[in-house]
Amino acid sequence: MLRKNIIFLSHIPLSDHLCRKFWINDLINRGYSVSFYDISRFFPYTHKNNYLPDNKINLYSVASLEYFEYLISRSCTTSIYINLFYPSKFDITYGIYRILARYNCIISTIIWGRLPNINSSRLLSWSYFLYILNPSIFFSRLNFVLFKFSYPYLLKFNILKPFNFVFAAGSYCSAIISNTKFVIPVNLCDNDEVVLKSSSIVSNRSKPYVVFIDSNITNHPDMLTTEYVMNPDTYYSKMNKVFETIELFGFEVIVLEHPTSNHLSSKFNNRKSVRSDTCSFVYNSNFVISHQSTAISYAILCFKPIVLISTIEMSLCLDNPIPLMHSYSKLLGIPLYSAENFNDNFILPSSQVDEKLYSNFMYRYLVSKGSEYKLNINIVLNFLENHFG
């Protein structure tokens, strides 16, 4: 039976970025009816926005499981549900997946952006200390462990149901999936921009520049759930000194803003900041500065040199990003500097990257072999039409 109704379930409010990232606009343009169930009200730390969606999108704000079940009861026989969150705890997400199983819905999810495994020993002492200080964090992680242990049994006894199909980017994501009938190899959404623009990017350089990929690390919604939050003034002061050192080599530093950041130009001493066309700015840059942002994928896909920067304060966060940066450094052969000692240690990176390391990383974490030059929407439509057309 032809199923032309696609329903996205999301813990993140609808935005223009989300519409592009998850093919919502493309599906509508290809004749699909698209609904968006926004469950972000269950997540107090979710970034809010004032996005006004296209009137072709059926938007529902879900504030209770009762209302969610009512919506499912009306649509379950004619729709495909694409979940933008994965069941990981005995919380509201478990309740939602339980209802989807009860109505035997056709369910899917998208797995991409999974990052390299890190050496947890670097986190152990401080994280354990924070666990003791903050019981809510301890019980949250305990909930996660208990759910992970229970999940196979929840599937076995039909309390939850496996995904009917999963879209997965890279060999790593494909390898960790066990609860689905079909794995459809796709690419990280950023790759679509690279594919589309690789033959049409026009240089936007008036002078040599480098880009800093902002991750809004002092005010990111994920960071607000931890015990320690970095002092913004300290962070911006250290990063501005890093930029000043780089500018001594004749480069302009351009800040690529995170979607949740505000007024970064003033925080970074009125340096140029942009919120769009990340791909073009990375492609035309001399090199890229980053912490642990997933947007670093643009630099990898464009084979651009990368310089990683850490600060002492990062090591105090429960979700300490420094071990992940060490993994990036090792897997890509790129330098990792401390902001506190940057001026004394910085060496201008070579314009040549280790293409073998970059390619290995790409195919493991970012793109799927055989699909790397395809647009995700074409892969998705081909699957939907072959199996539900």
Give the pLDDT confidence of 32-88 residue by residue, as tens digits.
999 999 998 887 655 566 666 666 899 999 999 999 999 999 999 889 999 998 888
Percentage of the chain exceeding pLDDT 70: 84
Average pLDDT over residues 320-332: 89
Gap between the Cα atoms of 44 and 356, Å rounded = 42
Name the packing angle between helices 135-156 and 124-133 (round to 10°).
Answer: 100
324 token code pair = 């992940």
Question: Is 359:333 a contact under the CB 8 Å cutoff?
Answer: no
- Which candidate, 139, 228, 186, 142, places its Cα nearest to that of 373? 186
pLDDT score for 276: 79
- The overall average pLDDT reported for the chain is 85
DSSP 223: G
| DSSP reduced 3-state for 218 | coil
Least confident span in 66-75, 259-268, 294-303: 259-268
The answer on pLDDT for 120 being more than 60 is no
The answer on pLDDT for 312 being more than 50 is yes
228 token code pair = 């320690």
CA–CA–CA angle 361, 363, 364 (5° rounding):
65
Gap between the Cα atoms of 172 and 5, Å rounded = 30
Residue given tokens 């105090």 in the structure block? 316
The answer on pLDDT for 335 being more than 70 is yes
Name the band, by pLDDT with cuts 50, 70 and 90, for residue 227.
Answer: very low
- pLDDT (tens digit, 9 = 90+) per residue, 196-224? 876 666 566 678 999 999 988 876 544 44
- Which candidate, 192, 88, 191, places its Cα nearest to that of 140? 88
Gap between the Cα atoms of 368 and 175, Å rounded = 12
- Which candidate, 295, 280, 285, 265, places its Cα nearest to that of 353? 285
The answer on pLDDT for 231 being more than 90 is no
